[in-house]
Amino acid sequence: MRSVIFAGGDYDEDDFYRNVVRRFDLKIAADSGANFLERIGVIPDVLIGDMDSIEENTFDSCKTNGAEIIKLPVEKDEIDTELALSEAEKRGSDVTFVAGAFGNRLDQTFGVFRLMERFKGSVLFNERLYAFVINAPLILESNPGELWSIIPLKKDVREVSLHGFKYELERKIMEYLRPYGISNESTGYEVSIDPGDGTLLIFRYHSGLFKWVDELSIKLKRKR
């Protein structure tokens, strides 16, 4: 099963999300993420959070239209997106996509990047890019000239190999404190990324089409 979480960040292109939301089995709104879903006419299957930033009419709409509501205390250790990721995992999600994780709260975005290590098979995305974490070799479809960034997540990573890029590596070290993996380009229709002995954070600036949702749902499927 694949799920999508709508967090409380920025959303620019409503039609993009109206189209992408149809591709998921489970829709979860993390607190004010439901405000955006209300805007595009979508009722979440689950609404979770402390409800400190959801609009009253949105909350009433979710309740009236059958969304399962999980209300939690305002004072807690977890951010709402973390609670939503936990709920998706509990319900059997193999791959969980997170929209609305980018915005003017850089601390929240940074926190969600950290959560990606814990919640295997999670993908952050918006209208222009997606991001995910890998610790095993992966081959993905691409298009010539697409922008990719590849960053060690928490330490120097050894034995990294990158193929299908303008700047390739063959069993080299990527240094944690030198982000030279930013702004690489794919040269063909396939890229290969081997994270060697570590963990890499991958960004791809996509074309706006949705083939990547299906591809990542298969290739990042969480092992149980």
Domain ranges across the chain: 2-126, 138-202
Reported as type and span, the H/E element at residue 118 is helix 106-118
pLDDT, position 126:
95
pTM over 0.85: yes
User: Would strands 147-152 and 26-30 be described as parallel, antiparallel, or unpaired?
Assistant: unpaired
Residues of the chain with pLDDT under 50: 224
pLDDT, position 76:
85
pLDDT, position 222:
64
Q: What is the CATH number of domain 138-202?
A: 2.60.120.320
pLDDT, position 224:
41
Q: pLDDT averaged over the chain?
A: 93
Q: What is the CATH number of domain 2-126?
A: 3.40.50.10240
Gap between the Cα atoms of 119 and 173, Å rounded: 26
SS3 state at 20 = helix
